[in-house]
């Protein structure tokens, strides 16, 4: 359907299908399994190996504009290698069995909130470049996408901390909500502090980071990186207090509403700001929607008396 509606896809059909196949392969990576058994280190190592191999391949094989298809192909090939390696590790621990539709539906129902959250994150990190491409030429999209990828990679450094703590918080809340609240509060302080450090590094170092990673022809990306750097603390707040706190307390519905509202706001602001302010407008749309999500989480916590920074006992929660 997108192929029929978007003229840019008609101009580059090979790129479209290579990129589509690459993303489908990535969707089958067994990262969820290693998160589930609390072996985040394995999932992280596999992800880092895939990204590093693809980056090395890009430097080795991509030299001309005609080589752009190799970028997506390299991502697909490295993802396929990690697919077999990850499943090999998984099947050494457990004998493979036939999947059952009933179990699959149950897991999708239980994990719907997390699926929606991860999907929203992907839209923030990839979908906005697509939206910008509907209103701006490819060069403008490149300025935004380059800075956005650097920002996403930097903010992504915070994700493993939340992923590691989620199972612990989920188990702790069953016996002591106050202890889970303390863990969440401490996590917020630590990850929030790291996120502020990331913001300062990206804001103050944009003039050095962009030329080194993207080249001197991407000077326009420096302003985009500065704007996007502001979302790091908001992402830290959303990840810890949404993912690690609201979800473990069973507030999936509230978290879903916040996520959907932020997505709608992001898309609305993008369609309004991008045509007028180009890549800077798109960056402000992302930051604004992230801020709205963070505020939404705060409002839910306050209204329900679940502010982890103020909870002192389980009786208060009860």
Do both 76 and 196 map to the same domain? Answer: no
Q: Which of 7-21, 46-60, 66-80, 280-294 shows the highest mean pLDDT? A: 280-294
80 & 171 share domain: no
Sign of torsion, CA 55 59 64 70?
Answer: negative
Tell me the per-residue pLDDT of 296-308, one tens digit each, with 9 for 90 and over: 999 998 888 888 8
Number of domains in the chain: 2
Is there a single domain that holds both residue 74 and residue 122?
A: no
Q: What is the mean pLDDT of residues 3-32?
A: 72
Residue 77 within a domain: yes
3-class secondary-structure state, position 16: helix
Highest mean pLDDT among 106-110, 249-253, 277-281: 277-281
Residue 167 lies in a domain: yes
Please indicate, yes or no, whether residues 91 and 121 belong to a single structural domain of this protein: no
Q: Among 48, 71, 97, give the residue marking a domain's end.
A: 97
102 located within any domain = no
Q: Which domain holds residue 30?
A: 1-97
Is 67 contained in some domain?
Answer: yes
- What is the token pair recorded at 292? 């709205």
Q: With respect to residue 104, please indicate whether it lies within any of the assigned structural domains.
A: no
Which DSSP string do the residues of 128-143 spell out, in sequence order? Answer: HHHHHHTTS-HHHHHH
Same domain, yes or no: 203 and 56: no
Mean pLDDT, range 46-56, rounded to an integer: 79
Residue 304 lies in a domain: yes
The C-alpha atoms of residue 315 and residue 318 are separated, in whole angstroms, by: 5
Counted residue by residue, the chain has a size of 318
Average pLDDT score over the chain: 80
Is the pLDDT at 11 greater than 70? The verdict is no
Encode pLDDT of 181-190 as tens digits. Answer: 888 888 889 8
What does the pLDDT average to over 47-51? 77
Task: Work out the average pLDDT over 29-49.
Answer: 72
Distance in angstroms between the alpha carbons of the first and the last residue of the chain: 50
Q: Which two tokens stand for residue 61?
A: 């094989």
Same domain, 178 and 275: yes
In a domain, 93, yes or no: yes
Distance between CA 34 and CA 47 in Å, rounded? Answer: 12
Same domain? 134 vs 247? yes
How many whole angstroms separate alpha carbon 71 and alpha carbon 67? 8
Query: 183 and 74: one domain?
Result: no
Residue 213 lies in a domain: yes
Which of 70, 97, 124 finishes a domain?
A: 97
- Alpha-carbon separation of residue 118 from 58, 121, 137, 239, 272 (angstroms): 27, 5, 28, 10, 25
Question: Is there a single domain that holds both residue 252 and residue 317?
Answer: yes
pLDDT at 5 over 80: no
Which of 69, 97, 125 terminates a domain? The answer is 97
How high is the pLDDT of residue 315? Answer: 47
Model pLDDT, residue 10 = 64
Locate all alpha helices (DSSP H) within the chain, ordered by sequence: 2-5, 7-11, 13-27, 31-36, 40-61, 68-93, 101-110, 112-122, 128-133, 138-155, 159-172, 177-213, 221-229, 231-238, 252-303, 314-317
Same domain for 197 and 145: yes
**Residues 69, 153: one domain?**
no
Highest mean pLDDT of the ranges 10-24, 64-78, 294-308? 294-308
State whether 157 and 280 are in the same domain.
Answer: yes
Q: Tell me: pLDDT of 153 over 60.
A: yes
Mean pLDDT of 102-125: 63
């Amino acid at each position: 359907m997108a192929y029929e509606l978007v003229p840019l896809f008609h101009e580059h059909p090979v790129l479209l299908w290579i990129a589509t196949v690459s993303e489908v392969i990535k969707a089958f990576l067994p990262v969820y399994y290693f998160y589930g058994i609390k072996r985040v280190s394995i999932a992280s190592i596999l992800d880092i190996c895939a990204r590093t191999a693809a980056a090395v391949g890009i430097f080795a094989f991509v030299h001309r504009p005609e080589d752009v298809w190799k970028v997506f192909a390299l991502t697909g090939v490295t993802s396929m290698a990690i697919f077999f390696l990850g499943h090999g590790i998984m099947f050494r621990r457990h004998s493979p069995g036939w999947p059952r539709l009933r179990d699959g539906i149950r897991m999708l129902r239980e994990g719907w909130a997390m699926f929606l959250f991860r999907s929203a994150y992907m839209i923030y990190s990839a979908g906005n470049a697509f939206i910008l491409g509907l209103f701006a030429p490819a060069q403008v999209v490149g300025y935004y996408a380059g800075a956005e990828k650097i920002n996403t990679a930097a903010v992504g450094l915070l994700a493993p901390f939340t992923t590691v703590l989620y199972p612990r918080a989920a188990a702790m809340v069953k016996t002591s909500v106050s202890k889970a609240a303390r863990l969440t509060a401490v996590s917020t302080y630590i990850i929030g502090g790291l996120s502020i450090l990331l913001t300062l590094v990206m804001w103050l170092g944009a003039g050095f980071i962009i030329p080194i990673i993207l080249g001197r022809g991407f000077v326009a990306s420096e302003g985009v990186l500065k704007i996007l750097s502001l979302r790091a603390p908001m992402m830290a707040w959303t990840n810890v207090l949404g993912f690690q706190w609201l979800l473990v307390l069973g507030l999936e519905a509230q978290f879903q509403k916040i996520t959907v509202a932020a997505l709608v706001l992001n898309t609305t602001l993008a369609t309004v700001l991008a045509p007028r302010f180009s890549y800077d407008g798109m960056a402000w749309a992302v930051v604004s929607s992230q801020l709205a999500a963070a505020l939404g989480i705060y409002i839910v916590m306050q209204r329900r008396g679940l502010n982890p920074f103020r909870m002192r006992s389980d009786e208060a929660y009860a």
